[in-house]
Amino acid sequence: MNYLITIIGPTAIGKTSLSIALSQHFGCDIISCDSRQFFKEMRIGTAVPSEEELASATHHFIQNKSILENYTVGDFEKEVIVKLDELFLKNNIQIMVGGSGLYVDAILKGFDEFPDINNSIREKINADFEELGIDYLQNKLKDLDANYYQQLRLENPQTLQNPQRMKRFVEVCIGTGKPYSSFLNQKKSQRNFTPIIIGLEADRVIMYDRINQRVDIMINEGLVNEAKSLFPNKELNALQTVGYKELFDYFEGKITLEFAKEEIKKNTRRFSKRQLTWFKRTEDVKWFDFKADKNDIVNYIKSQILIPKS
- Reported as a single tens digit per residue, the pLDDT across 214-223 is 999 999 999 9
Instruction: Give the closest residue to 162 by CA, choosing from 103, 246, 237.
Output: 237
Whether residue 49 is annotated as binding a ligand: the answer is no
Give the whole-angstrom CA distance, residue 178 versus residue 183: 9
Whether residue 282 is annotated as binding a ligand: the answer is no
- Mind listing the domains of the chain with CATH numbers? 3-111+189-304 (3.40.50.300), 119-183 (1.10.20)
Q: What's the one-letter identity of residue 60?
A: H
How large is the average pLDDT for residues 186-198?
86
Whether residue 9 is annotated as binding a ligand: the answer is yes
Give the whole-angstrom CA distance, residue 77 versus residue 82: 9
Q: What is the pTM of this model?
A: 0.81
How large is the average pLDDT for residues 65-72?
90
Percentage of the chain with pLDDT > 90?
A: 82
Question: Which residues, listed in sequence order, are joined to residue 289 by a DSSP beta bridge?
Answer: 201
**DSSP designation for 65:** B
Whether residue 90 is annotated as binding a ligand: the answer is no
Whether residue 121 is annotated as binding a ligand: the answer is no
Whether residue 261 is annotated as binding a ligand: the answer is no
Give the whole-angstrom CA distance, residue 130 versus residue 93: 47
Instruction: Give the closest residue to 250 by CA, choosing from 259, 241, 242.
Output: 259
Give the whole-angstrom CA distance, residue 278 versus residue 161: 18
Whether residue 280 is annotated as binding a ligand: the answer is no
Model confidence at 114, in pLDDT bands (50, 70, 90)?
A: confident
Task: Dump pLDDT digits (tens) for 130-169.
Answer: 999 999 999 999 999 999 999 998 877 878 998 888 999 9
Model confidence at 71, in pLDDT bands (50, 70, 90)?
A: confident
- 3-class SS at 291? coil
Q: N- to C-terminal Cα distance for the chain?
A: 14
How large is the average pLDDT for residues 4-18?
96
pLDDT, residue 310, reads: 44
Please answer whether residues 258 and 169 qualify as being in contact, where contact means their C-beta atoms are separated by less than 8 angstroms: no
Whether residue 15 is annotated as binding a ligand: the answer is yes
